[in-house]
Amino acid sequence: MTDAADDKPLILLTNPIHPEAVARLEIHARVVTAPDTGAETLRRLARDAAGMIVRAQLPDDILDHAPRLRGIVRHGVGLDFVPLPAATARGVPVANLPGSNTRAVAEYAFAALFDLRRRLAHLDRTLRAQGWLAAKTLANDLPEIGGTTLGVLGLGEIGRAVAGIGRHGFGMRVLGTARTPRGLDGLAEPVPIEHLFAESDAVVIACPLTPETRGLVDAGLIGRMKPDAVLINVARGPIVEADALADALEAGRIGGAALDVFAVQPLPEDHRLRGCPNLLLTPHVAGTTATSLRTMGLGAAEAMLAILRGERPATVVNPEIYG
């Protein structure tokens, strides 16, 4: 006799997702979480998968190892983790979750900016180690962010949220550069990228990783920044040339930087960036909060269940497969 559970389609999770989302999926499917995100592990587990919910980089050839695959859902927004052309060529729908972690990433951008500008953790350490007066004196040279100029590279959901917080929350002048800078509703002044880097006191990178943006923030653009300006990357690591940024930080040519994303993740222990001054490093967590994980998990589950029912998910990114 065949167990009824064996008749349920298998959903492969590259990483754990919110338990409420798992519970929702398990009503209709078997759910397997990969023990690691190595390419061979994902290829092996994909063999029986009807669907995949993706939080890590898929191998480029994953579709060759997934003959039963009916759909892929990106647990998040960026599609660089998914071999979209291969999925489209095979008629496999791919969906993502636009807006699901926008607020989390925008909040991170300003948390990083405050860390770089007001240096509260540094003040705390100085107070504990050197005393009240030593810490208090440090504050004399720390700037406010209100009234300064914020540059936003990429004006999608996240870039617009960052621009809105800067403009309406802190009275910042906001400059923006995007491939299609339309519908800004007064949030940002559209400017060429060279102008954005030269005029901004803080630059937030929020554009997608594409062939055009890979290596876009190079020594030339970083060299245009003001000596006290800071750079914050909440997008993708390869957009910024790491050596060019390290050169500028080590030479004191810019005021500082915050990086949540890297070309190689996890960031290698011997990577040059780890030794740079005035650099805040975090492990790709800008979009990760308890709130956003629940939102993304439940959104991913609903999109996947729609695919399994044969429906077109609302946020499909390759609608051309439907003819």
Tell the CATH topology of 102-281.
Rossmann fold (3.40.50)
Q: What integer pLDDT is reported at residue 15 of this predicted model? A: 97
What is the 8-class DSSP label of residue 186? T
> What's the pTM?
0.92
Tell the CATH topology of 4-100+290-322.
Rossmann fold (3.40.50)
Report the pLDDT averaged over residues 259-267: 96
Residue with the two structure tokens 């208090």: 136
68-120 pLDDT, tens digit each: 999 999 999 989 999 999 999 999 999 999 999 999 999 999 999 999 999 99
The side-by-side arrangement of strands in the sheet containing 71-74 is 30-33, 10-13, 49-54, 71-74, 94-95
Domains 4-100+290-322 and 102-281 share a fold: yes
285 band by pLDDT with thresholds 50, 70 and 90:
very high
Residue 2, pLDDT above cutoff 80: no
What is the distance, to the nearest Å, from the Cα of residue 140 to the centroid of all Cα atoms in its chain?
A: 34
Domain-by-domain residue ranges, the chain?
4-100+290-322, 102-281
Which percentage of the chain shows pLDDT scores above 90? 95
300 band by pLDDT with thresholds 50, 70 and 90:
very high
Report the pLDDT averaged over residues 212-241: 98
Separation CA 94–CA 91 (nearest Å): 9
